[in-house]
Chain A
Amino acid sequence: MPITMQVEHNGKQVSGGVRMVVWILLTVVACIAHGTLGVVIPIATSEAGQGWTAQSGILSAIGLVCLLGVVALVAIFVRNRRVQSSFDVVSWFLTVYSVASLALLLLGALTPASIIGSAGIISAVSTRILALASIVVVVGMIGFFVAYMRARPTRRLRAYLITQASLFAVIGLGGLLSVSTEGGVVLVIMATITSSIMTVVNAPRLPWLPTLSLDKKLRLLWLAGCAAFASVLMIVVFFQDDTVLSVAATTLIGRLNLAVGAVYVIGLVAFVRLIVTVLVALPNSSIVDRRSFEIESLAALARLMAESASMEHILTRTTELAVRVTQAHGAWAEVGSGDELNIVATQHVHVDYVRSLHRNQLIRQVIAGASSPVVIDSLAEYGVDTRALAIRSMVIIPIAVDGARCATLVAFMTADFGFHPDDHRLLAAFGDILSIAIEQSRLHASVLEQERLQKEADVAREIQTSLLPRLHPRIEGIDLYGIMVPASEVGGDYFDYVRFADGSFGVVIADVAGKGIPAALYMATLKGAVLAEVREASGPADLLHRLSLTLSGQMDKRSYITMSCVQFQPSTSSLRYARAGHSPMIIKTSTGVDIVRPKGVAIGIVPPETFRTQIEEVELHLVDGDVCLLTTDGVTERRNESMQEMGIAAINALLLNTAAQSAKDIVGQVQRQLDHHAQGADAHDDVTIVAIRACSGSSLPQGQLE
């Protein structure tokens, strides 16, 4: 608000309101001083209202010097003031001016004329209070005009202000001269006319005026009218020599009333000028209102977008704004079509009515057929029987996200040609923003979905990790090591160390088709089945067959499990191996590297009886230093950025070059080979590697506890 407008003075921030109060207080002090002087020297009061006398002139001069001193001080203070001409400043001034003027007039009217002319303290004080109050109002008005003119500095401004100041001086001088000669009155009139013309010509353009809303313009018009009215009353009062206020002013300085009246004339001219300006700007108000409202509503929609609100909320707000901006008689937003039509938001129309409209084949087609924003000036043109319809014209805005229609915004009028071309344009803009907002809200939802998936992945990972062995057992005659490196999404790899029915040691390695929680749950089922069946199983092929029996019918049609199983007999140093569709075992012996690939079908793709006929079991005799490597397809199918799989050959080569190392070293080397191949590319599948190295009992390596 302008009253608390900040001004800079010597680096300090002084509030305009405070300065105003100081100004008023000093003026009041000056008035009281003047009045007191008048009482102390009785000659002054006895002459009051009678005309110019030396004594009263001296008194008044002293009072005026005080007043002018105050004005000068204020002028110095306000020198750096930056008045920003705005609706608020101008309306505030007009209000203060009107109220002050009318209050002064009221005071003048209420003061009995008998008091002013008579002698005595009351008369002397009230006379001077009235006179100085008149001057304060006038000076305040002049002050505002100066500040107002300075608001838009132009080159002519200084010259104009100097001229106006000179003219005011001439008016004052003319007022004084008019006591003795009629020439003074002429001077006052001439100067007033000149000043008025200059005011009309130089009144600054108000850049903010055309952009005001109709409401504000009308307020300004009303205030300017009040101010002009107050000015007219003031002029009438002050140009008559026998009114209370005139007499009071004249008591202060001879025929001061004339000068004050002249200033009010100039004020009146300025107010009339303002009224004319506002009136001229009035016709475009509806356009301005509309524009500002358009901008507001677009901004509101943009905010809505930032809030990532729900689609329903977005559509409801949009229909509200659409009705307000276009002055439509109603609007609604719908999602889907046909039986799945969902009227999400309605304004000034009932959902059932919209549904009944949709039962009209033609209207339904018109709405559904709109591929871009459509204005229908008259539904009758589309062959719709409008006799029974309240709706006559509509704007249909289809809203598409990613090229797919996801909602429709409809605004309607109950008259033909109800919509302005601008409405069409604006609602189309609404549609654009809406589609972005909806996309935004979908993205938001998808982020939540991502978080949920991540949580799910974490759960699956926990299940998987809990199923893997924590210890690497010490087994006589072999050195053993296995790891599982998880992919970002659980890939269903599983391995375990088991004991067969005869107490012999075994290793199972499996890959459940599928990913995430389903895969993890299958793994859990598989582990349970393995633990239950292995106690009864005589060997790898038997175990696999038993598992296929147990799991048959328990799995989804799409799912299957590949699995390898080895059984180690330390007494004979023999290894039995069977494979259910799993990646074959690689064995390195003193003669080279071999791939051992017995027949076998994955668990879950054929009935158990077929599975049994297909499964083969091989027996290998290991000598010290032989290495068996069991992997999942995550190893051979590990890809690099150019999508090349590592393949089995790389592992073969690696094993060939491996001298007598521990199982753990071999697993580590395979891992390094994988990392080398992948070159930082993400693993899409879990990687499981189990190495079994034959070694005599004496060179039993350390049994690791991991």
Chain B
Amino acid sequence: MTDTKGSGSPNLSRRSLLKAGLATSGAVAAAGALPATARAGGDPLITEIQDWNRYLGAGVDEAPYGMPSEFEAHVVRRNVPWLTADTVASINFTPLHELDGIITPNGICFERHHGGVAEINPADHRLMINGLVDTPLVFTMKDLKRFPRENHVYFLECAANGGMEWRGSQLNGCQFTHGMIHNVMYTGVKLKTLLDEAGVKTNGKWLLPEGADAAHMTRSIPMEKALDDCLVAFKMNGEALRPEQGYPLRLVVPGWEGNMWVKWLRRLEVGDQPWHHREETSKYTDLLETGKARRFTWVMEPKSVITSPSPQAPVGHGKGPMVISGLAWSGNGRITRVDVSLDGGRNWTTARIDGPSLSKSLHRFYLDIDWDGSELLLQSRAMDEHGFYQPTKDELRAARGENSIYHNNGIQTWYVQKDGAVENVEVS
């Protein structure tokens, strides 16, 4: 998001501006702006020799596993302390406002644990298949790596993403309103391959995956989905799963709510009925205004959010070229269109989707505008390949009330002010 072509100015960072004593006044400078004209005598960052121009840097092996630049130290997962009782049964949020493209780096994929992160030596891990199968089986990790494998990019979204916003705008930042999502490439074995190896009996209609962590997480999955596109994955973005993402083995349930993607996967039981366990009765059911509650609401609906500008990523320049950037996704398949509004949903322009357009994966969209410096009410609206598009928050509330917690995919509004600051608002 650094393409500011036509600005005609040296691209200085805020840090270098301050160092050079060039900080100009007002919010524009505070947001990290470009000077309008070159300084007399030239930019000292160019005219003077800098330390890094002269002295030697770190050698190879300084960081056997590399980390981001120290100047990126603020790009981290963050939690909302008031939301849950304890961090071992809690959630944190992906810093979406700092990312671009569609892939989430492994170290900042949001975490949701129900009993903390299980630490498992892969040599000690076992996967069992039992229940209504011809042959109950046990696999080691080595066994699993002998089956044919596949690679797929999928988003994983917690059903509660946006859950704090049902009653209205509450949190200032897309990290907090939309950050219970990540998108990585998984490597693993098709779940169908493993189930076929055990031989599912004809009355085997449901599957119960179970985790090896202290929560022993379980969910009921219909066999049709299990045999369709689920994976048993051991890699993310090319490297082993991170411990907080289920190392050494997790279930991948494309397009469906994240709670079903059981981490530290140790068992798959085949049955003829669902189990109605805690995470599909007490939790992850959607209470409606009538007092009825929907259950087995698995699919994540079409959704989008503008990640920049957004409250944590204010506009860092004055009027002129501005890149509006965001993410869109749907559990139904590919995103075919994203519309962006600058006036709170009165008029819309179709944005440009850039990068890979993959089924059940994040899509990156851009709208490049010439900002006149006036206030904006930014919205984005995703449409998927089945023609479903994102409802407004009012439409959702009219249909469901305010107590559903889960599956809030309503259209988000960001209020961009003249000084570039951005706030989470709701509009008429």
Chains A and B come from one and the same complex: no
**Which residues of B are interface residues toward A (Cβ below 8 A)?**
none
**Which residues of A are interface residues toward B (Cβ below 8 A)?**
none
